[in-house]
Chain A
Amino acid sequence: MTSLRGRAVIGGILWAAVTITLGFAGLQSFIDQGAERRFDELLLARLTQVVTAVENVAATPEAIQASVGDPAFARPMSGLYWQVENEFGQVYRSASLGQDTMPRPQMLTSEIVIDGFSGPMGEPVRGMSQTLTLADGSIWHVHVATSLRSLRQELAQLREIMLVAFTFVVVIGVVGALLQVSVTLRPIEKLRRDVQRRWISEGGLDHGKYPEEVAPLVYDIDTLLNRNREIVQQSRKQAADLGHAIKTPAAIIRNELETLARQGQPVSDAIAALDRLDAQLKRAFGRMRAQTGTSALPSATEMDRSLGRMVRAFSDMAQQRGLVLTSDYPPGLRLRMDPTDLEEVLGNLLDNAQKWAVSAIRLTATTDAGDVTILIEDDGPGIPPDQIALAMSSGQRLDNAKPGTGLGLSIAADLLQAYGSALMLDKSAELGGLRARFRLPVAPAQG
């Protein structure tokens, strides 16, 4: 769907184009009509000039030129012409016509007739003619004409100037429209930024800081986000309470059964059932954790803080197992993941690494195109490529030689999936054991 900005800009430009085109056409038509009217008024004045001359010197038509007086009629090809014809077909004309004659109108009338034809230089000419009957009864047809060339040149120049002026208006109009769209859409962009910031901090949206048209929407979004946060937090708390309520009695039952087992009672089936129950619970809580959507809560993690905590905790454990844990990660980055979830992923992956490592575990993080890739490698036996999918499915233990439920990798994979990421397992090129890696987007800095 076209963006609001796109719609406003395209709509504004189309509307401006229509109004400016109509304005341009209207103005041009007005100017053309005005020029034509002035042209015809001038032509009429000249016709009157010649008619007066004819009336004055009808007895000696050769004197018409002198009587008209305007030297432009005498100058050859001046673009200003007259021609007079009496009822005997005798034609008198201005010197400006040279050898050329003007066409006689088809209808002779005392009304003023306007016509158009080609002048002596082939240029377009506009003419005005009238048939007079003088007091002595003689009939004269008077015809004056003016070249349209200069008028058309003037109009063309005017059009060019108008075009430049209207182009300037178009540019100003488009820039103005863009600015107006930007100012109008600013609250929407602020809302987007505020909602984005709300995902990585606990703060709410202040609808009082928005224009009255947007404020109700902001209020509704804030209410919705708060409700969502409450639901998620309540679900997590209920899951935690349920977990606590079940785990302690489960521990009591296990202790009783193990005491009976030590006394030689046949309780191995009950212990095996309890093992399955514990694993099922752990798997269910792991899934619930991923599905109750900690990813739906506003959250970001200071990466070096979380990684530092995990490295500190695991360094001691690794040391007790005779392992060396090294780490290398850039400081000052924030990741788009809840810190508890990130530490759950890291804890499960590091725990798996320290179970299988022979002497070394390495935790590294690198940045790349707005994402961070986190790697956890060990020098243990690794997982054959054809068993990797099995290793990530719930409760699948590839090797029962080490303690554990086999859920660590699948819990990490489920959590990462809830954030749109994925856990990748392959062989560590440098350490030779398992390499677990995942990518997370960097969150914008707080403030």
Chain B
Amino acid sequence: MTALRLIHGAAALAAAGSLAGTLWTGLADRGVALAFAVLIAVGELTRWSGAGTRQAAPLATAGSLSYALLGADAGRPAQAGPAQVATVVLAATLLGALPHIWSGRTTTLDHLARRVLTVGFTAVCFQPLYDKGLFASWGGPLYALLLVALLGLTALCDAVLAAALAHCRAGWPFGPLLREELRGLLGIGSAVCATGAVMALAVAVVGLWALPVFCLPLLLTQLSERRYAAVRDTYRQTIASLARATEIAGYTPAGHARRVASLSLAVGRDLGLTEGELTVLEYAALMHDIGQLSLVDPVPAGATAGLPAAQQRRIALLGGAVVRQTGVAAAVAVMVERQADPYREQPVAARIVRAVNAYEEKTRDAGPEAPLRALEDLRLGTAGDYAPEVVESLARVLARPRARRVVAQVGDGGSGTSLSDPARRWVTHG
């Protein structure tokens, strides 16, 4: 939690300092400041806290970065110093975020801190050097490249900040989070940086007309991203429903697939899997029992962990065949197929599914001491069936306070709403 305080404290200090500085000197270049403030506020208004988005308000971010990098306005040197940049960006962001704060939709504090720190960093790096005329001797193309390099540096810092904030909030390991943030830079992150640089350059050439014209590609990117996230969500819901087929057919108890999936996700996060691997893990965990649909006689209570190894293997193979038919990524089918292999031959996701499934089956409908006994059983099985590092990770995840674990699941975005809606105890037939 100290890192969180540190980041927030630094952001508050920077904001207060720049506000004082701006009040002292007064606003320079009011027209330009107003134009950028409107752009940032509009971008913030259209922000969107959907599932799995890395950049919720790309327009606002690009606008604030380009304001920080603004050297000239239609050939006339721009007057804004770093203090003014940070103040204008902060005020516009707050203004645009008001409706969101009002309806309590987003965790605004982290977002504000990140915005202030990154924009402040960029402006402090750029404005004093520009004012000293350091870039005047450089040629045009070199100047453009310099802006890109500076934005790249800023993006790196922002990734570290974002990862640190997520680490403090959810308690997931820092390394994988940082890796994910860096990977996200390749996608919409690079579009945001490029737009920021291009807008700063274009305003220098043609003046403020450039702002509306240059927003358009980024708006389109945002739109695509939104639709992509939406269809990903729908897909996840469909998979979850498909997984429920075994429960409805009476092969497995209600909510089993959902519980295995959320616990597997928590273990996968703890072990530092990447976002792509986590998706495969989640789908595989949801569909791990689907092979039972092909059985003539249901396994008693759907508990496969207690069956002979050969039969477990057979059910896993049947499941892999079904998953292959559904057009889900082949990696998911492989995980489902290999969930019953000895752990030394298994990929990580299959190890996790196997251990978590066994834990879930052993603790179901058992007494209050069942979790401890189940973990003990798993530990005894680490010679052949269950991977020791997975079992230890499971123990760590289970030892966490329950609220923290739930945050970890809901933090995954849309899946939280679809997968964790409480399943009714379904009265199965026959």
Do A and B actually bind? no
